[in-house]
Every structure is written in structure tokens, then in C-alpha cells.
Structure 1
Amino acid sequence: MNNKYASLFEPMKIGKTKIKNRIGMSPMAASGMITPHNCFDKRAAEYYVERARGGAGLIITGGVEVENEIEQTKLGIFQNISTNPVAFALNSSEMIERVHAHGSKIFLQLTMGFGRSLFLDFVDSHPVAPSAIPHFWEPDVTCRELTTNEVEYMVEKMAEAAKVAASAGYDGVEVHAMHEGYLLDQFTLKAFNKRTDKYGGDLRGRLQLPIEILQAIKSEVGQDFPVILRYGVKSCIKAPHQGGLPGEDYQEHGRDLEEGLEAAKILEEAGYDGFNADLGSYEALYWAHPPTYIEHGCYLPYTKQLKEVIDVPVLTAGRMDNPEVAAEAVTSEKTDMALLGRGLLADPDWPNKVKSGETDKIRPCLGCHDGCMGRLESGKVISCAVNPACGREEEYKLHPPLKQKDVMVVGGGIAGMEAARVAAIRGHKVSLYEKNNSLGGHVVEASVPEFKKDERELLRWYGQELKENDVELNLGTEVDSQLVKEINPDEIILATGAKEKIPPIQGIDQDHVLTACDALMNPDKVGKNVAIIGGGLVGCEIAIWLAQQNKQITIVEMIEELMGAVFVSHANEMMLKDMIKHEGIEVKTDTSLLEVQENEIVTINKEFKKQNLNADTVLLAIGYESDTKLYEELKDIHPKTHLIGDARTVQNIMYGIWEGYEVARTL
């Protein structure tokens, strides 16, 4: 083991429970991994056990509901311990035994609810809150204020759930959540709690609920059973429905750092055994679920101050998947344990690889949220963009083929590299052909901005994987039907990608008109005043990149909102939009490009009003179209031709990887 990572592998205690190392799995909702009785199903068990097998010292499950009478969420989304407590304990016990077999501990996260933050599509009852306040997602809807009796009932259900957890064999529980603006957090925040009963008033009054929950749990399970709290040190709320960006100067409208530290001292004195500390709220969802635009270890400046005022362990997530960042944080006492959420989805073996000094083999998380949070938001089962086996570990295991085949992969973008990697791991003889002199496809251009460095790391990882698995690389080789006939492979996987769209607009062929890829690879060609045509994810990211270079940017988008044509996870979308405002980027929606002139463009909006805008550079980011030329030539000639990735349908990185994995695992 490399000595610089040694601090991550020192044992520690939470309460009296000993944990073998200082690497934990951060809680994330195991959405959809659920039995008819709302228990963890077999897929959930495999999901958690895989992370224990990978070396995590502590597993914290996603939030489990404790009641469904007051806040009635739809069945099939979240696990619920109150539906059938006996079945929940039985289902959990085997999973716990398997986690323990790998020397790991497992805590069950218990949630008293979501309140104003719950997606209305997920709930059958009227939304509730501490007070009659607007719902976050639907501000025209006013949440119903919970009665004192209802709150006391929820406290009882939390205690009952903890008792079931202890009987099942869980090593502790985490109270969800005095963070991110969930229901418990809403009770503790002055902005949302206007109550006059024992659960309102000053800070101590607003902390009455988490204290009562702790006291009720301890009375059921005893003082030695660890109870930790998911805790937001700071809310990062700049204004109602408005988050505060990293480095931005604003007045906190939620819990500021001073109150966060004071509240932690009160809660420690009440008896909490540890704090799983982070930042954020639904107003600043990108702090609670940091995208690629936020630095690794983003909570550490705050958890360092938290550790200075309390003595119980502090656990910290927040893009801690960089081993150097995680180890330094523990060594310098900014945290006691590094929690990885998405990092362990991307690579469950992260702890073992760090311990064995194989950090270069860690598959990187992109901070994209496409496979995890985005799946939950769109009503799908949690997984990972770069790890298709996440959440379906047993079904998606790779097995040797009955017969080794010669597999020809055409296209060295993400989809092609994943297909080649997986086919080679299974034992096929794989040759990959790429017409350019380097691998990566359009991800090469997309990874240029500094905030996309994780995509550069993914490209490096793929190059290493292809080499280690003996994939034959043929760079600078354009494949045609004649070459395919000469090679005559058993299977052909076409991952020929997509070409940028060029609209048939007057003046579009002038030298100062660049595609997004041209601009990213040739930044010297970009002038001072830039009109970006297209306000999708690509256009918005390039706008931020150029604005940070002091360019004057205008985004022209034909529909009514930015990033409205394709799904982008809420955290990423919110942060990009806030960054666009912060950088002073001008946005013109419901507006189309009509003509490109020498130093300006002509636009027209939905009211048919024309406008001339200064632009010494016009940058096209209107999307891509599939390149199916080779497929059309081969589909009737070679019976075993598979079309994947953007060549099949233009989508995001996740679907390119998933399609490459799916096709290659079944050859």
C-alpha cells in the first residue's frame, strides 16, 4: 500500500462500533430495487454487497421510509420498513450477513419524509411541511402544516424502524435528514418553520425534532447502538428558489455556517454518535449533489470547521473519489471518513485498488448524474453512466463465451471502446479500427474545458483498458465494405458515431462560423463576441468555458428554455443556469438564427421580430446526426452487424457505454 493513502485504511469507531477503514459508501436512494412488500430486493443486496466486496469499511443504505400514512409516496419507488417490518428484517438479514463476511459494517438510513421537496409525481397525498409554505417544485401548491400529533407519530415510527433495523442485524442507523432541505431539515430552518409549538421558535426549539428522534431511537435500541445524522452544515440558499454558487458572495437565507456549527454542538450534546456532513438544499441542489462543475472534496473547508467544534466522528462525501483528496482530508483531520457515493457506483473496487496501489485502474465518475440521480428523477432504477453493471450486478456479470470469435469494432469513440473492452475481457479476439489517429471520438473535444477533466481521465482509462486486454488497435484506418470483406470477422460492431449538424442558412459557410468541435479544438479561432447557436447541454457548457476566458457570449436557442430538448439532471441543469447568470451571458430563447453576416447575425423570435446581434464568431451547437453510411453498406452483406452508440441514436455518453456493454456481453 502506498503510504500516502495509509490514513484511509486506519480503523475507526462510531460510538462503540469498530470500522475497518475510513472509506464508506455514501447513502443514495436505491430507487426501484424493491420487493412487493417495500423491502430491499435481491438486486439491492447484490448492489450493496458488491461495494463491501470492493473494500468499503462502511455501507450506508439509501433512505428507507418509516411510514406511508401522512406522506403517502407511490409504491415501488422507495423502500418502506413499516409496510411489513418482519419481511423487511428477513430480507435484510441475509444481505447484512454477506456484507459482514467482507469485514464491512452497514447502517440503515431512515427517513421521516421529504416535505416540500418531494416530486409531486411520486406522492399520492397532499404535500406536507412544518408550516404552510410553497412546494419547491410547484410553488403554486401550498404544503399542509403537520399537526403536533402527526410529528410525534413520525418520531415514534422512526424509533420503531430503528428497532427493526437492530433486530435485522444492521450495525447502526442514520437519521435522514437534517440536510438538503428534506422534511426534517425544513423543521430546523427558520425560513420554512413558522411553528409556535415545541417544534418551532428559536434554534433550540427548531432542533427539538431531531433530538426527540434520537432520544426515541436510543430508548428502543439502547445507548450503544450507533445513531448518526445526515447533516447539512450550510444550506447555500441565496434567495427563495435560488442557490449560491461556489465562491459567490451572498447572504445565506437558510442555515449559515455559524448556525450550522452551533446546531452541531447542541446535537452532539444530545447524543448523536456522528455526523454525515455536507452542504446544500433543493435551492442549491448542485451543492448536495455536486456535478462535474464543482471541485473534488468540495465540502472539506466546511467539515474542517465542523470537526473543530465537535468530538464525534465526521463523515464527508462531496466528490471524494480522488484518492489524493480523500487521503489528505483524513490525514489533515478535515474529516474522519471519506464517503464515496457515485465514485463507488462507477468503481465498486475503489478501496481495494487504492490499497493495492492501483489507483490508475480506477474507473472515474464523470459527475454527470445521468445514471444515478437522473435515473431517480426520471422514474428509473439507479445505475451508473460509466458502469452499466451497477444496480444489476448479478444479471450483468461477464461470462466467457461458448466459442471465441473474431470481433471487428469500427469506431474508437466511447461506445466502440466499451464494446471492444468488454468483448476482449470475455475472451474474444478483438480488433478496433478508428479513422482518426487517436481514440475518443467527440469526447476528445468535449473534455477540453477544465471542468470536464474527469472525461479526459475516462479516455485515459479506456486507453489503458484496451491495452491491458490485448485489443488490436488500428488507428488512422478508415473502414469500408471492401476491408470488411477482406477481414471477414465473425461479428462486426459499428460505432461510427455522429456528425455535427450544419443548418442551411445564408452565410453559414463563412470562416468565422465554427462548429462546437472546431471551437473546442481551436480556441484561438474564437473571437471576442461570440454567438452560440443552440442552448442545449453542449452550447451551455461551451458558453461557460468561453465566458471564463472573458469572451462576450450570447446564446440563441429556438425553444423556450435552455437544455429543454433533452433530459439533464436537475443538479447539473440548475448549476449551469446559475453559472450562465453569474457569468453575465446573454440568453435569447424562442429565437432562431436567420442569417450570418460579416460581423453580426440576424435572428428572429417567435413573434417574427428580427434582431441584429454583434458576433465576430458564430459557434454552432445545434446537435449531431448519426453516421450510418457504413452500416447501410454492410447490413445486408454481413449478417452479424451491430449498430451502437451515436451511430444508432444520438444520445449521451451513458447510452454509448451501455449499448457497447450490452452488445459485447452477449456476443
Structure 2
Amino acid sequence: MKYKNLFTPIKIGSAEIKNRFAMAPMGPLGLSDAQGGFNQRGIDYYTERAKGGTGLIITGVTFSDCEVEQQSMPNCPNSTFNPVHFIRTSKEMTERVHAYGSKIFLMMSGGFGRVTIPTNLGEFPPVAPSPIPHRWLDKTCRPLTKEEIHSIVKSFGDGAYNAKRGGFDGVEIHAVHEGYLLDQFAISMFNQRDDEYGGSLENRLRFAREVVEEIKRRCGDDFPVALRFSVKSMIKDWRDGALPGEEFEEKGRDIEEGLEAARLLVEYGYDALDTDVGTYDAWWWNHPPMYQEKGLYRPYCKMVKDVVDVPVLCAGRMDDPQMASASLENGECDVISLGRPLLADPDYVNKLRSGRLEDVRPCISCHEGCMGRIQEYSMINCAVNPQAARERVTAYEPICKSKKVMVVGGGVAGCEAARVLAIRGHRPELFEKSQQLGGNLIPGGAPDFKEDDIALAKWYERQLSKLEVPVHYGCKLSREDVLAADFETVIIATGSSPKVFSLGEDAHVYTAADVLNKEKDCGETAVVIGGGLVGCETALWLSQQGKKVTIVEALDKLLAVNGPLCHANKDMLEKLVPYRGVEVITSARVTDYQNGILTAESAGETKKIPADSVILAVGYKEENALYHELEFDVPEIYLLGDAKKVSNIMYGIWDAFEVANHI
């Protein structure tokens, strides 16, 4: 079989993993109950990924400290808050995971310190090794006392003991990684202490050393303890991270110190290093958006693997199995960690094993369903998979009677509705006015960094074909067409169209979709009007082609109205735009475009910008006329996707799933 090396067993400490796939730890927001145990959603969520073939499940972050850095409850599970309850709910989950031959590690956190996300963790006073600036808040952190460090270390031992009793096969420590509390102690920029926990590298790693020693003391030397580890910080300055390829002076942990730290940490007793790069100050490294290349951690994992003799895990957009297989072959890592790809498709591993790669639903690296929702609403989900972390409440509803359903529009909402209807046993037919499915995924996926948008459109095409859903292309239906057809239910998902306005010389004024679809040539110089997601990504794509691009935005900053955009995506795109040479003019009002000159007013000044073309990226308007022509004539009719309300891919898919699952 192809990729056979991905399906060979490996040991982490005493735990044998059946294949080379791990579920990467992701924030388990919404998966805990008020007593710090796993709720039903959490149990179903992790079990579903084990059922899908993943060899090692690593839970999202859990806490053991209840004294120093108190958490809002329920927030994340806590292994010491109510030990008996934690053990009971854990046992229920680990037994189900083990039924599928998978192993499961509990991720245990030393705390957030200066990087607490205020929307998730309440207003508790932030702590840190030293009085340093908080990452998000305008506050100075309070230094931990030695007694508090000892208290946290003891809680790790207690929590790991409870995890072992609850059936976990090991733990992963969170983390000398991403700038969390243990990492803040390990990095000299953050750790300015003059006691035994500060100064030399060994002293700065003392906290992490005491943690593994305490766990081994309580649980036995053969109880596996892995560590989430960032070999390099990518920090230019406080709250300022480096971009890929940028030359900069590392203010955090550099590679030389990172490799020495890796050696020491293994010497202290850690059984595996789950390796990446970055910190919260350079968040787009730890949570790579689509603007980062796939497999971005591989060279760093190789460096670590060359200096340690324990397994190295590698995550970071590793969903290309050819890349994953080559990484094992080339000695870059030992285990492939999949985070968001397992949110998008929990059956990824089984589909790969059985040669059904084309059926894997692609992750589009948008972060809107996972980190965006964690950041804003304290819950983990997935933009392209409405069932992620909601497996039980979104299970496919059985039907009493199969209905013929007309779906008008082949964007994500129409495709998702038709897919779900067919799976449940209804008989949908889809009518699309163009010659392809995908709607706004097609122009949106034109930049090379958005390739997974195109992959999602192709996935829908394949799924509807396999489900034998009739798809009629080139069909722009009228009210009469719909009423004359023999359907019991009608879904209108006719999408949206770009907003346009006249600037005078309109022959060279195009929509972003015109340019992205290569229907119009924007020339060598272009002005993009609108600094939202579409405008910024279009400008970035054109700048990569060597075009001179200016963004003119009416508001006072870029990306002001899109959301919930994860900070990793938003902050990276905001930095990439000027880094790639795109000029940005904010708080500006465009007046006209004549003789190749765009005129704009900004801060009381009139700006004249030469441009071969002007590209409008000022939003979309709902195409809902057909629905309103039909709403009083069709007894069961639904309006979905951008036709209902212009939004993002996630809400188009989610709304379609909700409606189609209850027809």
C-alpha cells in the first residue's frame, strides 16, 4: 500500500502507538463540565477521532493548578478540581478510545501566565516569572513566588496520578512552547529572576524539570510524559513577531539554545518532544494560517531529532500524506500530528489507510471555526465540519419519508445542503447557473495560498457525485421554472454578488472576483478599494506577481469588519501586506477615477494615485430575489448561505447543515 510507513507502530515511553498519526492538542473549550471533568461533547469528540483511526489522541489543554492561576469554570478540564469526578468521566472516555486500538494522552498545562486570553480566562491577575508586560492587556504581570511554583509542580503530580487512574496512557506537558508559563520561565527575555529559577538555561528549565520528575515519582518511571516544545521563538520584540523569510534578531529562544534545551529536557526524563516554533508574540507560527507554507516545522523538527533519542512529533499543516511519508523517510520526525485536519475530517487516517484520500474533507486553515471561536466564544468547532465537537447533537436525523428537494445554487451552502439531504435519504437535485460548483470558493481560492478552498469545492463535487445527486449546470432558474418543477421542498442558496459603484472611467474598474478569476487583467499597477479580507488577500496575491498595489480603506485600519478572525490569521495578514510592498491608505474616501488616476481624500489631503485599474473589494450583496418571488407560493422553502445574509464559509456551511438535517 502507498504510505505504508505511516502505518507502522512506534513507542513513546512504554506506550505503543499503532500508527504514526497523533491528534495534535487543541484548545478543548466547551468540552468540560462545571466540575472539571469531560462532558459528553468532549467524550464524543475524542472518541470520534479514535474511531477514525488516529493512533494517539492528545487532548486539548487541561489544568491541575487550582490555587495560583484560577480558571473560570467550566472552561477547560481540571484533573484536581474534583478528582473522583475527573477520574470517572476520564474513564468513560478512555475506555471508548481504547476500544478502537488508540492510545490517549492528557495534555496538562502549567498555566498561561502573560498570555491569558481575557475572553476565555476571566479577569484573574496575570502571573509570570517576572514583572513583564501582558501579551494582550495593558497590565504588568505579577511574579510567581517559589512557594507557588512548588504548588504548581505538586499539582502536576496529583493530576497525572488522577489521569493514570482515569485510564490515560500518558500525559503531554504544556509547555516549553508558544510562550506559555513554563516557556516564560525558560526564555530569558521573560525570565528576569535571580533565584534558582532564573539565570542559566538549566535554572530557567528547572520548573519543567521538576514537573517531569514529580510526575514520574507519583506515576512511575514507565508512565510516558511527552512535552510540547518550541525550538525557536520568532520574537522581534514584545508583541512583535517575525514573518517567514524575514531577517531579524531573535529576542526569545534561538535555535542554538533551543537544541541545548531539547537535550536537557530529554535528559530530565521527557519521553517525546512535540515540536514546533513560535510564541504568542509571533502567533502565526504556532497556529499557521493559509499564508504559511505546509509542513513549516519540518526543518526545525529535523534539528531536534538529530540531537535527541526520543520520538519527535511534527504538526503544522501536515495533511499532505506524501509530505508526511517523506518526513518520516527523511528523518525529520517520527509521528505526524494532525490538529485542524482532524477537526475537518475525523476519519482522515482510516480514509488514507483504505485508499480513499479523495474523500478526506480538507481543512482550509481559516481558523474561523477553531481558534476564532475559541478566542471569541470559548468553544472549539470547525468551519467546514459542523459536527466537530458537536457529534451527538448534530448526528444525522433519521427520516420518515424521502422528499424530492430542489436546491438552487451550487456554492458551499447549496452543496452542503444537497450532501446532507442525500446522506439522510432525501432526493435532492442541485441547479447551478455556472459551469462549476463552489460559488465564491472559486475566486477566493485563486491565490496559491488559498489552494484548499479549491480543494473544498472539488470535495463537494466528488461527494455529490458519489451520493448520485443530479447536478444541473448552466441553469439560471426563474420563478416559473421552480413552480413548474415537481419538488416538495425548495432551498434557495443563490449566493451574493460583489457590490459595485461608478468612479467615472469604469472601463478599468473591476471587481476582485473579475481579477481573481482572471477574467480581467488589472495591469501592472492597481488600487484595491476595500481593506477587508478579500481586499487584503487580493492585494497580497497581486503583489506576489510583482504588481504595484495600493489598498484604500474607508475605516481607520485593515480587517476591521471581518470575524471571528483568529489573531494568527489577522495579525499575519496585516503584517504581510506592507511587508510585500503593498501601500495602505486608511480613513480614505474615494472620489473618482479619470485618465488612469484615482483620487482619494484622507486626513484632509487629496491623494492622486496612478493606476492601470481599480479593483472593488467593498463587500457583497445578497442575491435573494428568487426567494422573495417564491416565498408565498412554496409551502416548504428555505433561504440559505450568502443569499440569506452575506457571511463567511463557516456560516454558509453550518446553516445549510442545520436546515438540511431537519427536513
TM-score grouping bracket, smaller chain normalisation:
over 0.9
Match of 1:185 among 183, 186, 209: 183
Distance 1:631 1:38 in 2: 47
With 524-533 and 644-653 compared, the bigger mean Cα shift is at: 524-533
Q: Which residue identity does 1:361 align to in structure 2?
A: D
**Counterpart residue number, 2:634:** 638
**Counterpart residue number, 1:52:** 50
Distance 1:363 1:239 in 2: 38
- Alpha-carbon distance change, 184 to 415 in structure 1, aligned in 2, over 3 angstroms: same
Tell me, yes or no, if structure 1 residue 546 matches structure 2 residue 542: yes
- Counterparts in 2 of 1:268-347, with a 5 A limit? 268-347=266-345
- Whether the 8 Å contact between 2:397 and 2:662 is mirrored in structure 1 is no
Distance 1:529 1:331 in 2: 45
Match of 2:553 among 551, 557, 564: 557
**Counterpart residue number, 1:478:** 476
**Counterpart residue number, 2:521:** 525
Q: Which residue identity does 1:366 align to in structure 2?
A: I
Distance 2:395 2:97 in 1: 19
**Counterpart residue number, 2:143:** 145
Distance 1:637 1:163 in 2: 64
**Counterpart residue number, 2:132:** 133
**Counterpart residue number, 1:194:** 192
Distance 1:380 1:206 in 2: 31
- 1:603 partner SS: strand
Q: Which residue identity does 1:388 align to in structure 2?
A: P
TM superposition shift of 1:524: 5.8
Q: Which residue identity does 1:123 align to in structure 2?
A: G
Distance 1:329 1:364 in 2: 20
**Counterpart residue number, 1:573:** 570
Tell me, yes or no, if structure 1 residue 653 matches structure 2 residue 625: no
Distance 1:599 1:144 in 2: 57
Match of 1:622 among 610, 618, 623: 618
TM superposition shift of 1:488: 3.2
**Counterpart residue number, 2:261:** 263
1:419-467 CA distances to partner (integer Å, 9 max, x unpaired)? 0111011111111001112111111111111011111111111110010
- Counterparts in 2 of 1:147-226, with a 5 A limit? 147-226=145-224
Distance 2:367 2:21 in 1: 21
- Whether the 8 Å contact between 1:112 and 1:176 is mirrored in structure 2 is yes
- 2:428 partner SS: strand
Distance 2:500 2:578 in 1: 28
Distance 2:29 2:506 in 1: 50
Number of aligned residues: 661
Distance 1:124 1:612 in 2: 48
Distance 2:464 2:503 in 1: 45
Distance 2:469 2:398 in 1: 16
Distance 1:646 1:628 in 2: 9
- Whether the 8 Å contact between 1:72 and 1:124 is mirrored in structure 2 is no
**Counterpart residue number, 1:593:** 590
- Whether the 8 Å contact between 1:116 and 1:129 is mirrored in structure 2 is yes
Tell me, yes or no, if structure 1 residue 415 matches structure 2 residue 391: no
Distance 1:438 1:421 in 2: 16
TM superposition shift of 1:82: 2.3
Distance 1:542 1:374 in 2: 22
Query: Segments of 4+ in structure 1 off by > 6 A?
Result: none
Match of 1:85 among 70, 83, 86: 83
TM superposition shift of 1:67: 1.8
Distance 2:591 2:34 in 1: 55
Distance 1:651 1:120 in 2: 26
- Whether the 8 Å contact between 1:71 and 1:123 is mirrored in structure 2 is no
Q: Which residue identity does 1:596 align to in structure 2?
A: Y
With 178-187 and 586-595 compared, the bigger mean Cα shift is at: 586-595
Distance 2:321 2:392 in 1: 28
**Counterpart residue number, 1:584:** 581
RMSD: 1.2
- Whether the 8 Å contact between 2:590 and 2:600 is mirrored in structure 1 is yes
Q: Which runs of 5+ in 1 are unaligned?
A: none
- Whether the 8 Å contact between 2:156 and 2:215 is mirrored in structure 1 is yes
With 56-65 and 433-442 compared, the bigger mean Cα shift is at: 433-442
Distance 1:154 1:515 in 2: 56
Distance 1:527 1:68 in 2: 61
Q: Which residue identity does 2:614 align to in structure 1?
A: V
**Counterpart residue number, 2:532:** 536
- Alpha-carbon distance change, 478 to 662 in structure 1, aligned in 2, over 3 angstroms: same
**Counterpart residue number, 1:376:** 374
Match of 2:106 among 100, 105, 108: 108
1:591-639 CA distances to partner (integer Å, 9 max, x unpaired)? 121222221111122x443222222211100000111100110111112
1:227-269 CA distances to partner (integer Å, 9 max, x unpaired)? 0100001111122222112222222111111111110001111
Distance 2:342 2:580 in 1: 33
TM superposition shift of 1:151: 1.1
Distance 2:578 2:277 in 1: 22
Distance 1:623 1:493 in 2: 24
Match of 1:456 among 441, 454, 457: 454
- 2:67 partner SS: coil
Relative to the length of structure 1, the TM-score reads: 0.98
- Whether the 8 Å contact between 1:298 and 1:319 is mirrored in structure 2 is yes
- 1:514 partner SS: strand
Q: Which residue identity does 2:150 align to in structure 1?
A: E
- 2:77 partner SS: coil
Q: Which residue identity does 2:574 align to in structure 1?
A: K
- 2:60 partner SS: coil
- 2:422 partner SS: helix
Distance 1:317 1:585 in 2: 31
**Counterpart residue number, 2:228:** 230
- Whether the 8 Å contact between 1:72 and 1:123 is mirrored in structure 2 is no
- Whether the 8 Å contact between 1:63 and 1:111 is mirrored in structure 2 is yes
Tell me, yes or no, if structure 1 residue 36 matches structure 2 residue 34: yes
Distance 1:642 1:380 in 2: 30
Relative to the length of structure 2, the TM-score reads: 0.98
- 2:203 partner SS: helix
- Whether the 8 Å contact between 2:527 and 2:551 is mirrored in structure 1 is yes
- Counterparts in 2 of 1:603-622, with a 5 A limit? 603-605=600-602, 607-622=603-618
- 1:230 partner SS: strand
TM superposition shift of 1:523: 6.7
- Whether the 8 Å contact between 2:578 and 2:584 is mirrored in structure 1 is no
Q: Which residue identity does 1:573 align to in structure 2?
A: K
With 160-169 and 237-246 compared, the bigger mean Cα shift is at: 237-246
Distance 1:585 1:572 in 2: 18
